[in-house]
């Protein structure tokens, strides 16, 4: 088959690719054919028939969205017959859709406050639709041309508008039944929260279960909203506002790095976020990216610097704040630390670490949260790699997935979408190793559910079984080091003994290695977010070994927290690192950097987040500068940092830590600045300013540049983020020549199997709480009754929770099937009904619905609730029978 085909559309000769539809070929060549049910990236549907055309030599008027192109095809898109058919189709649609304005000749003259001269009722007017001037139906009616008077009677559906579910409204009076939303949920997301339903003989869109999105398995990603061509589905917040400016930027809420278009109204408020359909995330966002950016519009955001005077923070000028801060910091050289929050950009991170080293003679630089260094160390040791080896956009091509101790669908949501789609299409196998019931366990071919903290033992046993059964990829192991040594070391991981300690049957482990060896390529995704550091490092090493043995070293995806952790590492802003992946304790590396900077890099010890807190407590670190917020800044950490002699905080709002600071600099949010992020798969991506400053906010890199100049240190005369970026490309060679949106190059320097040792699992329970409570969360639990009730302005879920208990534990605690108990942990207690079904002694589990979390986030009064979404933790617990 030729690479291109030639056809004629409306007298114009165009080229197309084999397999394309006529509609795709026309649009690619700048020829517009109206459509309503078609959407790029989804399967052709052919339901609305708006895109009908005539083809020479063919019968009838086929839909161009379902008709494949053919060589020498002659197509006519605007004949009298085609035009008449389109008008008739629109008349049918408008007979059930408000159209008082759609067909009116005065549409360009009327405003939302004008009185209609034709006495059209309010519900029939476009000017009161939340999607007015963003409506594809309106554009289609204008293009085709529909007469003011139509022959069909108009029937307004009079359906109630659904406004009680979180985040967005559903008005099915405006629905044209194109099914885009249903197909987006199914095809693009791998979900089935909404479907086509029949009401009184009329087909509409509705929830697939019950009447609320909370009980139908909605993950509130907003894909259905973004594909809706009319005003049937709209974001609730700012639904009536119109955009005056837009910008393409990077989501600041996780390290996947989804590209989005943000819309800003005339008052400078961020009113909408829409996924970029041309980016690697394919237009996908998650609940955090779609509905978690309202912190940008915080009316109480800081406008001017604050300095503590007479025990109170008082507004001052930038000049005074910078002078005071520089004067105070000059006394703390060598006893200073800087901590970076989740959303700091590469430019912020680079100048923060440069300032710490050159101006303050300190290597105490890190993120203000647990960066899980055990995720990246084995990659460096085995492959010489400083980052995940795969690309998230390539996950759709994997034929097997191993997901270890990861709540991907909540914490790295869009990275989980290809997995769900592959499982739904049955094109890949999925093995999940996690004691918690998370969303991906519902899709798994095999769910290995170990006792918490023994995951590394199970992984070691998998390595042994893979080698014992001869399932290693022969062409892969021929180029790796350390195979013979590994064969001896894995003898420690006796599958039978591991089974006793973990509760995972040996036969399930055998099945797992056969699935991993049989699916190539196989992707390995792991967050290890509930493991102690030593077991987590052991687990990470075993995962790397599994990838090497199966020839999948290019498909390793450690899943870190934060937004820009890869960028922090590249910039030298994580503990122990220098820019360009050089080590702090490497004298030659410090010498190389000194030549670039023209100043000596201090020979001071590297200090991580925990070490900085310990240093503050012991008075070894006396001054701390904290840039932005993070979940790591809990009450205890805030109390410790506040005890420093001098505390400087960069924030966009007066957070608990900022209230205790000596100086607070007003920080520009991601939407008010320019710069770059680096995603977890190494893509360097732009952050673009779209929202104007509300006061005197500045990007954090600029504060470090001005302080450096105040302290008389050379190399801080930066006037723009581009100037900082240019220096980054000189100091970090991998960034030189990298185009925005592209990953920096990664070539494994070696292939070395890592030694494995049996690490004792960290105990979960104790004398007072001898059980391990595993908390899970899923979108849907079939067979469990759910009641949706009104709670304030939103719906809420009411249901009796169930705690799964192993039969041995049930006997020990004197409880039986159906008994009512309280599950007590150091953090509180929860009432639940016993189900004697646990697989692992000593472990009890409760699984919540994501809808409960969605309501909690939507009703939160916190400025930035997405910054601290509750994690799925493993807690020590005990059972107390109710009434005993």
Report the CATH fold assignment for 373-558: Dimethylsulfoxide Reductase; domain 2 (3.40.228)
pLDDT band (50, 70, 90) for residue 820: very high
**Residue that is written with structure tokens 């169930």 in the block:** 802
pLDDT at 197 over 60: yes
CATH of domain 168-297: 3.30.70.20
Mean pLDDT of all residues in the chain? 93
pLDDT digits (tens, 9 = 90+) for 832-856: 999 999 889 999 999 999 999 999 9
What pLDDT, on a 0 to 100 scale, did the predictor assign at position 792? 82
Cα torsion for 840, 529, 855, 633, to the nearest 10°? 140
> What integer pLDDT is reported at residue 452 of this predicted model?
96
* CATH 2.40.40.20 assigned to 771-881: yes
pLDDT tens for 782-798 read: 888 899 998 888 999 99
Rounded (5°) CA angle 571-575-576: 85
Would you identify the CATH topology of the domain 5-112? Ubiquitin-like (UB roll) (3.10.20)
pLDDT in the model for residue 1: 60
Beta bridge partners of 857: none
Over residues 94-113, the mean pLDDT reads: 78
pLDDT in tens, 416-455: 999 999 999 999 999 999 999 999 999 999 999 999 999 9
Residue 64 DSSP label: T
Query: Long-range contact list for 272-275, CB < 8 A, 24+ apart?
Result: 272/235, 272/238, 272/243, 274/226, 275/222, 275/223, 275/226
| Fold classified for 311-371+564-735 | Rossmann fold (3.40.50)
The arithmetic mean of pLDDT across residues 241-260, rounded, is 96
Residue 501: pLDDT over 60: yes
Q: Where in the chain is the domain with CATH 3.10.20.740?
A: 5-112
Q: What's the distance, Cα to Cα, between the start and end of the chain in Å?
A: 77
274 DSSP β-pair partners: 261
- Separation of alpha carbons 343 and 593, rounded Å: 26
DSSP for 558-592?
A: E--SSSSHHHHHHHT-STTEETTTEETT-HHHHHH
Name the band, by pLDDT with cuts 50, 70 and 90, for residue 652: very high
Confidence label for 614 from pLDDT (cuts 50, 70 and 90): very high
> Which conformational region is residue 286 in: left (phi greater than 0), alpha (psi within -120 to 50 degrees), or beta?
beta
Q: What is the mean pLDDT of residues 748-764?
A: 91
In the chain, list all ranges with CATH 3.30.70.20: 168-297
pLDDT of residue 884: 57
| Nearest alpha-carbon partner for 204 in 227, 234, 226, 233 | 233
What SS3 class is residue 52?
A: strand
pTM for the complete prediction?
0.94
Residues of the chain with CATH 2.40.40.20: 771-881
Closest C-alpha to 872, from 342, 407, 375, 370: 407
Please check the confidence at residue 654 and state whether its pLDDT lies above 80.
yes
Question: For the chain, what percent of residues have pLDDT higher than 90?
Answer: 83
- Asked if the model's pLDDT at residue 67 lies above 80, the reply is yes
Residues of the chain within CATH 3.40.228.10 domain(s) are 373-558
């Amino acid at each position: 088959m030729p690479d291109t085909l030639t056809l004629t559309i409306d007298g114009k000769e165009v080229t197309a690719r084999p397999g394309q539809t006529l509609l795709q070929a026309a649009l690619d060549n700048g020829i517009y054919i109206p459509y309503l049910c078609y959407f790029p990236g989804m399967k052709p549907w052919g339901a609305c028939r708006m895109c009908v055309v005539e083809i020479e030599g063919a019968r009838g008027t086929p839909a161009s969205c379902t008709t494949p192109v053919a060589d020498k095809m002659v197509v006519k898109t605007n004949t009298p017959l085609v035009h008449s058919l389109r008008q008739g189709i629109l008349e049918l649609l408008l007979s059930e859709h408000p159209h008082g304005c759609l067909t009116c000749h005065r549409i360009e003259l009327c405003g939302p406050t004008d009185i209609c001269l034709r006495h059209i009722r309010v519900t029939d007017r476009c000017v009161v639709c939340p999607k007015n001037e963003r409506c594809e139906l309106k554009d289609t009616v204008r293009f085709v041309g529909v007469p003011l008077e139509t022959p069909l009677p108009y029937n307004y559906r009079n359906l109630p508008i659904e406004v009680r579910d979180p985040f967005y409204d559903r008005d099915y009076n405006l629905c044209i039944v194109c099914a885009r939303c249903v197909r987006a949920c199914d095809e693009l997301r791998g979900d089935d929260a909404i479907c086509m339903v029949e009401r009184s003989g009329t087909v509409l869109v509705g929830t697939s279960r019950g009447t609320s999105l909370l009980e139908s398995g909605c993950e509130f990603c907003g894909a259905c909203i973004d594909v809706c061509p009319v005003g049937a589905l709209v974001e609730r917040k700012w639904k009536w506002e119109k955009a005056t400016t837009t910008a393409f930027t990077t989501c600041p809420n996780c390290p996947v790095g989804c590209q989005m278009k943000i819309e800003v109204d005339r008052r400078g408020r961020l009113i909408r976020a829409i996924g970029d359909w041309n980016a690697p995330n394919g237009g996908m966002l998650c609940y955090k990216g779609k509905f978690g950016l309202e912190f940008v519009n915080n009316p109480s955001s800081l406008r001017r610097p604050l300095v503590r005077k007479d025990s109170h923070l008082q507004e001052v000028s930038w000049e005074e704040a910078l002078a005071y801060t520089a004067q105070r910091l000059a006394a703390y050289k060598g006893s200073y630390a800087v901590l970076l929050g989740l959303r700091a950009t590469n430019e912020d991170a680079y100048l923060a670490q440069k300032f710490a080293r050159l101006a303050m003679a300190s290597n105490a630089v890190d993120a203000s949260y647990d960066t899980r260094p055990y995720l990246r160390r084995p990659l460096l040791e085995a492959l010489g790699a400083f980052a995940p080896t795969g690309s998230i956009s390539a996950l759709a091509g994997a034929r097997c997935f191993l997901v270890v101790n990861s709540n991907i669908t909540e914490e790295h949501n869009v990275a989980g979408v290809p997995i769900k789609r592959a499982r739904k299409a049955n094109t890949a196998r999925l093995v999940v190793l996690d004691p918690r019931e998370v969303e991906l366990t519902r899709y798994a071919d095999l769910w290995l559910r170990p006792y918490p903290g023994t995951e590394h033992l199970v992984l070691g046993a998998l390595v042994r079984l893979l080698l014992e059964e001869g399932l290693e990829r022969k062409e892969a192991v021929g180029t790796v080091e350390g195979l013979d040594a590994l064969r001896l070391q894995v003898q420690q991981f006796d599958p039978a003994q591991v089974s006793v300690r973990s509760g995972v049957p040996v036969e399930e482990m055998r099945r797992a290695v056969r699935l991993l060896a049989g699916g190539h390529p196989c992707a390995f995704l792991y967050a290890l977010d509930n493991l102690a550091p030593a077991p987590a490092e052991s687990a990470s090493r075993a995962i790397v070994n599994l990838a090497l043995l199966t020839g999948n070293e290019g498909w390793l995806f450690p899943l870190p927290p934060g937004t820009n952790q890869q960028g922090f590492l590249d910039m030298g802003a994580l503990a122990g690192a220098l820019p360009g992946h050089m080590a702090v304790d490497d004298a030659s590396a410090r010498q190389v950097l000194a030549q670039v900077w023209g100043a000596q890099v201090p020979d001071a010890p590297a200090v991580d987040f925990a070490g900085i807190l310990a240093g503050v407590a012991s008075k070894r670190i006396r001054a701390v500068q904290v840039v932005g917020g993070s979940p790591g800044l809990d009450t205890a950490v805030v109390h410790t940092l506040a005890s420093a002699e001098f505390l400087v905080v960069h924030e966009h709002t007066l957070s608990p830590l900022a209230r205790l600071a000596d100086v607070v600099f007003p920080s520009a949010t991601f939407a008010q600045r320019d710069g770059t992020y680096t995603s977890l798969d190494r893509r360097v991506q732009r952050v673009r300013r779209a929202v104007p400053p509300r006061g005197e906010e500045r990007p954090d890199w600029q504060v470090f540049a001005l302080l450096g100049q105040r302290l008389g240190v050379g190399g801080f005369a930066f006037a723009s983020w581009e100037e900082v970026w240019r220096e980054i490309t000189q100091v970090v060679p991998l960034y030189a020549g990298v185009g925005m949106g592209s990953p920096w190059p990664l070539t494994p320097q070696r292939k070395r199997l890592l030694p494995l040792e049996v690490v004792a699992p960290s105990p979960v329970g104790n004398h007072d709480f001898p059980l391990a409570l595993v908390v899970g969360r899923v979108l849907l639990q079939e067979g469990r009754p759910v009641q949706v009730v009104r709670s304030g302005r939103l719906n809420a879920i009411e249901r009796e929770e169930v705690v799964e208990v192993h039969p041995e534990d049930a006997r020990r605690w004197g409880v039986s099937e159906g008994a009512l108990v309280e599950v007590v942990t150091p953090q509180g207690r929860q009432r639940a009904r016993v189900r004697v079904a646990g697989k692992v002694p000593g472990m009890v589990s409760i699984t919540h619905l994501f809808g409960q979390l969605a309501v909690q986030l939507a009703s939160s009064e916190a400025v930035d609730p997405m910054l601290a979404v509750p994690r799925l933790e493993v807690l020590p617990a005990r059972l107390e029978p109710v009434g005993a």
